[in-house]
Amino acid sequence: MKLLIQGDRNIKTYRILAMLMITTLILTACNGRAAPAVTPTATVEGPIIVVREQSIEAGTVVIDQARTIISGWLAVYAQVCEGPGPLLGYAALAGGLSRNVMIEVDMAQATQTLHVRLHEDTGEVGRFEFPAADATVKTAGVPVAAAFQVKNLSLPQNIAVPDANTVLMGESCFLPNSITIPAGATIVWMEMGLLDHNAVAAEDGSFQSPLLHNGESFEHTFYEPGVYPYFCALHGSRDGKGMAGIIIVTEN
Ligand SMILES: [Cu+2]
């Protein structure tokens, strides 16, 4: 009997102790959770390019500010329509904010408006490899972009189209937009933009290029005289809106 009572008491003591321990544990846990995070709220600053219109001396442009998350490249492009075309020059960027980045550019191809893009160094480290690797840096799917005017020189609005049978594909345009050729001539579409484009016959399905990447081209020979509207399936429409063009083929 005595032993039993003793045992009973022991069980009660253990229960109380156990409850106390559990309560302490719960309180500690709650306390830990309720306590405000003491880690400093790091301001995650996104990639940017800041550039002003400027005079170009000795073929060098200056980009006021550029910020990347990881190391990459700051590239200057000539203009096709409203967007970037051929690469004119680039400079390496360390991760973080860089100021007054000087970039030597190929003035022979320069246009009045120059475009600037950030690229990431994701291919072979230390080598600028766009378009093979080193894609443009994007924020919410949109490339981090800037453009500026050259003040002290009189330059063409767009890069020159190489010849009378070539159509350039720019950021969201065909240049020239309308082209006239004799029957039997071959048109070459050259992809100069940073976005991919194609050329699709709008009415008769007579030609359709694959999606072209920067630097690629496509050609088609027009034997029959006529008017051939076409469009880019990504940036234009069959009815001629957006990125669309026209080939006029005359009797030979
Ligand atoms: Cu397109």
CA-wise closest residue to 157 among 54, 83, 106: 83
Residue 85 Cα to ligand 1 midpoint, Å, equals: 13
pLDDT band at 14 (very low <50, low <70, confident <90, very high): low
Residue 151 Cα to ligand 1 midpoint, Å, equals: 30
Residue 109 Cα to ligand 1 midpoint, Å, equals: 23
Residue 146 Cα to ligand 1 midpoint, Å, equals: 20
Pair of tokens at residue 108 = 């022979």
pTM for this predicted structure: 0.77
Q: To the nearest whole percent, how much of the chain has pLDDT over 70? A: 83
Residue 11 Cα to ligand 1 midpoint, Å, equals: 79
| Strand residues in 19-110 grouped as ranges (E) | 48-50, 60-68, 72-80, 83-93, 96-104
Kindly report the CATH number that applies to the domain delimited by 48-149. 2.60.40
Per residue in 144-195, pLDDT tens? 999 999 999 999 999 999 999 999 999 889 999 999 999 999 999 999 988 8
Question: Max alpha carbon distance in the chain (Å)?
Answer: 123
Residue 71 Cα to ligand 1 midpoint, Å, equals: 29
Looking at the domain 166-250, which fold is it? Immunoglobulin-like (2.60.40)
Per residue in 103-146, pLDDT tens? 999 999 999 999 999 999 999 999 999 888 999 999 998 899 99
**Domain spans of the chain, in order of start:** 48-149, 166-250
Domains 48-149 and 166-250 are alike in CATH topology: yes
- What is the model's pLDDT at position 28? 46
Euclidean distance between CA atoms 193 and 152, whole angstroms:
26
pLDDT band at 45 (very low <50, low <70, confident <90, very high): confident
Residue 20 Cα to ligand 1 midpoint, Å, equals: 70
pLDDT band at 36 (very low <50, low <70, confident <90, very high): very low
